[in-house]
Structure 1
C-alpha cells in the first residue's frame, strides 16, 4: 500500500501556500517587491553607477523589467495548474499592470530624456526603425489591456468580448520579445531565452499540461476520483471568466 505521507505533505504545502497568498499582507508585499527594480535603477542613476550613458541604460532596464513582469504574469496560470496553488491567480492582474507600468517608464524615458520630446525625430524613429515600431505596437496592446483590466470593464465588455481582447496579451509578449531581439546587435542569448519562454507559455495555453492524472488501468489501484466540493462562487450567478476558466480576482 502506498505511503500517504508524501501526498499529505503535498496537500499541506499547497494549503500553506494558499493561506499565505490569501493573507491581507500578501498583496502589499508583492506590490513593494515589484517596485524594487525601479528603486534600484533610480539609486544607480543618483549615484552615477549607470555607466557612461545613464539615460540609455535606464531605457534598457525599464524595458527589460516590463518584459519580465509580462512573462511572470503569463506564467501564473501554468504555475497554478501545475502546483494546485489557486492563490496565485490573485496576483495576475497586479503583475500585468506592473508590466504596463514599466513599459510606460520605458517609453517615457525614451521620449522625454532620450529624445527631449522631439516628436518629429520620434516619428522618424517609429517609421524607420522596425524594432521601435514593434515595441510601440506591444505598448499599445498593453495600454488597452491595462485600461480594461478593472472589474467594471469586465462587466461592461461582457465575458466573451473581454476574453477575446485579453488574448492579445500573448501578442504583446511576442511583440516585446521580437522588439528585444531586433534591438540588440547580432544574435545574443538573452533575447532568445525570453522569446522561448514566451513561446513555451503560449504553447502551454494551447495545449495545457495537467499533472496528477494517474492511469486507472494499473490494477484498479488508482485513486478514486471524487467530485470537488462546490466553491462559494459556484452558487453565484455565472460571470465573466479568464480564458483558463477562473474568475477575475476580486479586489481586497
Structure 2
C-alpha cells in the first residue's frame, strides 16, 4: 500500500504547487481590492498570508517524520513546499511593509520596539538563506553536509514564526498554541528518542 502510494507521488508534477501559490496570493489581493475581506482588508491579507505560511511550514516539517513513521515519502516536494512557504512569508512581510506601515522611518521602529514584529522579522530573516540556497547548484557549491546544516535554520525559524503568531493573538486563543504545540512535537520527533520509538514500533 505504502509503496503504491509512493509510486503515485513520484509521478505527480511539482509545478502546480507554485501555480496554486501564485493564484492564492493574486485572488487574496483581488478580494481585498473589491472589498471582500472586511473592514480592514490589509490586516485580513496579512493574517491570511502569515497563517498559510505557517501551515506550509508545518507541512514541510512533517515530511521527514512522515517518512520515518509511515514510510510515505514526500521528499521530492519538500523543496517546493519550503519555497512556497517563503513566498507566502515574503508576501505577508510585503503587505505589512507596503500597505500597513508605509512610512519607512516607522518600519525599523516597529521591528525594534514591538516584540511580536521583532520575532516575526527574525523568523523571516532565517528563511532567506534557505530560499536562496534551495537549488542543486548551491548543494554542489556548499557540499551536502554544509547545505544540510544551513537548512536546519528551518527549526528556529518555525519556532519563531509560531511564537510570532502566539504574540499576535489578543487574549487567550487556543489556535496559535496548537500551531506552536504541533511544531514542538515535530521538532521533538527528530530527537534520538523519536527514532528509537520508530524502530521499536516498526
Instruction: Flag whether TM exceeds 0.5 (same fold).
Output: yes
Matched, 1:175 2:160: yes
Find the counterpart in structure 2 of residue 157 from structure 1.
Answer: 142
Find the counterpart in structure 1 of residue 177 from structure 2.
Answer: 192
Deviation at 1:46, TM superposition (A): 4.0
Larger Rg: 1
Deviation at 1:155, TM superposition (A): 1.6
Find the counterpart in structure 1 of residue 47 from structure 2.
Answer: 60
Aligned equivalents of 1:188 and 1:211: distance in 2? 36
Find the counterpart in structure 1 of residue 6 from structure 2.
Answer: 18
Aligned equivalents of 2:180 and 2:150: distance in 1? 22
Structure 2 length as normaliser, TM-score?
Answer: 0.91
Find the counterpart in structure 2 of residue 100 from structure 1.
Answer: 86
Find the counterpart in structure 2 of residue 85 from structure 1.
Answer: 72
Q: Deviations over 1:82-114 (max 9, x none)?
A: 22123x110011001011000000010011111
What is the SS of the residue equivalent to 1:72? helix
Runs (5+) with no aligned partner, structure 2 = none
Paired residues for 1:1-252 under 5 Å:
13-23=1-11, 25-35=12-22, 37-86=24-73, 88-116=74-102, 118-206=103-191, 207-208=194-195, 209-210=197-198, 213=201
Aligned equivalents of 2:15 and 2:145: distance in 1? 31
Aligned equivalents of 1:35 and 1:16: distance in 2? 31
What is the SS of the residue equivalent to 1:167? helix
What is the SS of the residue equivalent to 2:38? coil
Aligned equivalents of 1:177 and 1:76: distance in 2? 18
CA contact (8 A) 1:20 1:26 kept: no
Aligned equivalents of 2:17 and 2:2: distance in 1? 19
The structure-2 alpha-carbon separation of the partners of 1:34 and 1:15, relative to structure 1 and needing over 3 Å to count, comes to farther
Runs (5+) with no aligned partner, structure 1 = 1-12, 215-252
Task: Give the root-mean-square deviation of aligned CA atoms.
Answer: 1.8
Aligned equivalents of 2:177 and 2:52: distance in 1? 16
Aligned equivalents of 2:116 and 2:31: distance in 1? 27
Find the counterpart in structure 2 of residue 223 from structure 1.
Answer: none
Aligned equivalents of 1:213 and 1:79: distance in 2? 14
